[in-house]
Structure 1
Amino acid sequence: QPGHPGHRRKKQEPTQPVILLPAPEKVLEESDFKKTGRTIIKQMMGIQVLLNVVEYHADIYYNTKTGERVHAAFPDGVVDEVNYDGSIRAFLFLLNNDCCVSIDKSRKFLSDLTGGKLNISKGMISKLSREFALKTVPERRATYADMLLSPVMHTDCTNAKENGKSCHVYVCAVPDGKVLYFAREKKGHEGIKGTVTEDYQGILVHDHDVTFYNYGADHQECLAHVLRYLKDSIENEPDRIWNKEMRSLLQEMIHFRNGIQLPHKPDPKTISGFEKRYQAVLETARREYGDIPANDYYRDGYNLFLRMEKYMRNHLLFLHDLRVPATNNEAERLLRNYKRKQAQAVTFRSFESIDYLCQCMSMLVLMRREEPANIFDRVSRIFG
């Protein structure tokens, strides 16, 4: 905009000698042109992939008396005749698991970049998730312990596919950025077993899955889901008043809560007023469903009314504790990472593949929060 400096592209240090463009012919022909002392500098950038090959030679020595043969020890990681260092492994790992590119396209892309010199096997690429997961076990254990100390934690679950069968992926996330994914063959208590949720003793933020109510010290239900359910009720039950009033009231509560910043505290009278209005809307719903009962075609609105009445405290906890968010959007966003991979893979051949993927996704999220500068270098060092 006029009067404001533009957000220009960042210039880089030249990697080749600076090219000085010759003066225009007009300047050479007319002596009236003089140098101003100013120079216009423009850069053209490109990238180049170089195949870096280090070859080791070790002479073999033979003992004429004992027949023993020895040679110098090769560096760590140099085991086979041809070995791939951490940079190649990290490139293929991130392309396949983080960018959701298929194994075939990943190996083809690397082959094209190196002029056909590198043709990595599909088996090696498919094993990278397992290798990365096993090498990062200590970091995930430490994260698990740290998450138990957080006063608030988000949790959610989504469906996964293994050879056409249904399984599940759980996510646990705390406000400071720590995240762990868990693959589970079953849902319910069997699915929660072994996750952070099983041992957690703080406030859980989740969707309306009654299984979660058996864990944690307190609960906040996601109001984003409730607002969607209320909108659905409005569309299917347009003659009822309670759904419109409740949706408007929840939006007002969330707006009020978002306007409060620590160390300020919400006004108790205002919160009490919200709670009374909440109960008044429930009474309106009771009268409406008493006069005109819910039909067999659509009972979701009536079920929502019963649920909001029973779990009123868990819908309004965010008004009393500023540490608690009104929605479970954090967990929802994190599960999209898995959904993108599931859409690319369609189905996984084994449950272990999903399990290793979840462990890798956990580490990638953690590394991005800790070292946003260059995740590629960190992954390369892990692969060694």
Structure 2
Amino acid sequence: MQKKTKQELQEMEKRALKAEKQRDDALDKVKELQHQFYETAVRLEEEQGKNLKLRAQINRDYENSSIPSSKTLRKKKITNSREKTGRKPGGQPGHKGHCRKKQEPTRPAILLPPPEIVLEDNSFKKTSKTIIKQRVGIRMLLDVTEYHADVYYSSQTGERVHAPFPAGVIDDVNYDGSIRAFLFLLNNDCCTSIDKSRQFLSGLTGGKLNISKGMVSRLSREFALKTEAERRAAYADMLLSPVMHTDCTNGRENGKGCQIYVCATPDGKALYFAREKKGHEGVKDTVTEDYQGILVHDHDRTFYNYGTDHQECLAHVLRYLKGSMDNEPDRTWNKDMHSLVQEMIHFRNGLQPSEELDPCKVSEFEERYRKILETARKEYENVPANDYYRDGYNLFLRIEKYMQNHLLFLHDLRVPATNNEAERLLRNYKRKQAQAVTFR
């Protein structure tokens, strides 16, 4: 019985050792599977981050980033939210029409003869009412003034003299300011190419005027030289403005890349400056360098070193918030901030020039602004920003740090909420660049 019991114990020991070995093998396998799962989860999270980054890049357009609408590959259909009324198009009954403005006649009025029925029937009597209608047209006339100067010869000295010609009459054929101004405005303001400007003027004059390319190309330099005094006066006036817009964009000068700075005041004065680089070297010798008022710009931190106060363009902030809403749909702060910024701009635009800002309303906006920032901080603490898409988190840090510069327009009625004035002026330049490619 002892021998049998000993054999059973040995068998049980073998079974126990085998079970322990199986358990250890199973634990090792579980540990290996856990390690593989962790690696897979890390790779999955990394790929999701890359996917989010790529989707954010693909979905970037003029609505959620600073990309201009002309550079957007996906053309969005503009929705029409108007409801059909069932009325016919055009002026409605009871609405006072806007008639065409009558012009001052350039030739004697033409009196139309009475109709034949009036001549045949004596019962028709002339009334005091006269119906007046105009037909307006334009004519392109070639105005040529020819000067003759007799030449006198001295038999004693051999000198030849003649009467002096008027100022500007130097060559055998000279073009006056009307032709130069026409070509300059057509080429620059209307963004028409040099060839098209020449062809248009040649067509208007029946092929009599064929201006050379070189002359049209030199008009910009000639205009710049002749307007130096006006530009200096505009520079001085802009320094006295309490608010000034400023912005820059890339351009090309003589085939090389450059930066185009624009400085503009709300009353319409604007000056452009071409610079080789951005930053402080680009601001040098522009109106911004000497300006001591409130600057409105697009969060270019270089501009914070100039002026006395700053207002950031909220149109850019709205677009960046839209991008955060598209790429971080699970967060709520971006939607709340987008609605608040729209509400603040609408409130400000609804004020009349004679009205004053309500301090209670402004304080309410600021308090809501701070609460949304607190919400954003908690959301990013609970779920940190993805390593491959941090635009939303960076935007949160930016609007928290520059809160005063985002809400300055609520404290000063002179300050606009956007930098659209400078944006529109730079858009004119970009249209011209698309036609000219590079400037000389």
Q: Which amino acid aligns with 1:78?
A: V
1:67 is paired with a residue of what secondary structure? coil
Which shows bigger deviation, 20-29 or 187-196? 20-29
Kindly tell me: are residues 22 and 260 of structure 1, through their superposed partners in 2, closer, same or farther at Cα, counting changes over 3 Å? closer
Aligned equivalent of 1:379: none
State the shift of 1:272 in Å: 2.5
Aligned equivalent of 2:103: 12
Which shows bigger deviation, 283-292 or 37-46? 37-46
Aligned equivalent of 1:44: 135
State the shift of 1:228 in Å: 1.1
Q: Which amino acid aligns with 2:377?
A: R
The CA distance in 2 between the partners of 1:272 and 1:33, in whole Å, is 77
Which shows bigger deviation, 90-99 or 255-264? 255-264
The CA distance in 2 between the partners of 1:127 and 1:64, in whole Å, is 43
1:75 is paired with a residue of what secondary structure? coil
Aligned equivalent of 1:225: 316
| Match of residue 153, structure 2, among 62, 66, 77 | 62
Q: Which amino acid aligns with 2:135?
A: M
What is the aligned-residue RMSD (CA, Å)?
Answer: 1.8
State the shift of 1:4 in Å: 5.0
Q: Which amino acid aligns with 1:137?
A: E
Aligned equivalent of 1:156: 247
Which shows bigger deviation, 320-329 or 121-130? 320-329
* 1:166-205 alignment runs, 5 A limit: 166-205=257-296
Aligned equivalent of 1:343: 434
Kindly tell me: are residues 17 and 262 of structure 1, through their superposed partners in 2, closer, same or farther at Cα, counting changes over 3 Å? closer
Aligned equivalent of 1:288: 379
1:252 is paired with a residue of what secondary structure? helix
* Identical residues among aligned pairs (%): 79
1:147 is paired with a residue of what secondary structure? helix
Kindly tell me: are residues 69 and 165 of structure 1, through their superposed partners in 2, closer, same or farther at Cα, counting changes over 3 Å? closer
Aligned equivalent of 1:253: 344
| Match of residue 74, structure 1, among 143, 161, 165 | 165
| Match of residue 85, structure 1, among 176, 181, 191 | 176
Aligned equivalent of 2:18: none
Aligned equivalent of 1:122: 213
TM-score by length of 2: 0.75
State the shift of 1:264 in Å: 4.4
| Match of residue 131, structure 1, among 206, 216, 222 | 222
Kindly tell me: are residues 190 and 142 of structure 1, through their superposed partners in 2, closer, same or farther at Cα, counting changes over 3 Å? same
2:267 is paired with a residue of what secondary structure? coil
Structure 1 runs not aligned, ≥5 long: 354-384
Aligned equivalent of 1:299: 390
Structure 2 runs not aligned, ≥5 long: 1-91
The CA distance in 2 between the partners of 1:115 and 1:264, in whole Å, is 58
The CA distance in 2 between the partners of 1:313 and 1:124, in whole Å, is 51
Which shows bigger deviation, 4-13 or 243-252? 4-13
Deviation string 1:352-372 (CA, Å, 9 cap, x unpaired) is x3xxxxxxxxxxxxxxxxxxx
State the shift of 1:262 in Å: 5.1
Kindly tell me: are residues 163 and 298 of structure 1, through their superposed partners in 2, closer, same or farther at Cα, counting changes over 3 Å? farther
State the shift of 1:2 in Å: 4.1
Larger Rg over CA atoms: 2
| Match of residue 102, structure 1, among 184, 193, 215 | 193
| Match of residue 111, structure 1, among 202, 225, 230 | 202
Kindly tell me: are residues 53 and 314 of structure 1, through their superposed partners in 2, closer, same or farther at Cα, counting changes over 3 Å? same
State the shift of 1:297 in Å: 3.8
Deviation string 1:316-350 (CA, Å, 9 cap, x unpaired) is 111222221111111111112112211222x11x5
Kindly tell me: are residues 76 and 164 of structure 1, through their superposed partners in 2, closer, same or farther at Cα, counting changes over 3 Å? closer
Aligned equivalent of 2:114: 23
State the shift of 1:3 in Å: 4.4
TM-score by length of 1: 0.86
Deviation string 1:249-269 (CA, Å, 9 cap, x unpaired) is 112222333344455442333
Aligned equivalent of 2:403: 312
Deviation string 1:265-284 (CA, Å, 9 cap, x unpaired) is 42333323322221111111
Tell whether 2:238 aligns with 1:147.
yes
Query: Which of 1 and 2 has higher RCO (CA within 8 Å, sep 6+)?
Result: 1
Aligned equivalent of 1:213: 304
The CA distance in 2 between the partners of 1:332 and 1:188, in whole Å, is 19
The CA distance in 2 between the partners of 1:47 and 1:325, in whole Å, is 42
Deviation string 1:219-253 (CA, Å, 9 cap, x unpaired) is 11111110111111111111110001111111222
The CA distance in 1 between the partners of 2:406 and 2:234, in whole Å, is 29
Kindly tell me: are residues 163 and 76 of structure 1, through their superposed partners in 2, closer, same or farther at Cα, counting changes over 3 Å? closer
Which shows bigger deviation, 299-308 or 169-178? 169-178
How many residues end up aligned between the 2 structures? Answer: 349
1:90 is paired with a residue of what secondary structure? helix
The CA distance in 1 between the partners of 2:104 and 2:353, in whole Å, is 44
Which shows bigger deviation, 237-246 or 296-305? 296-305
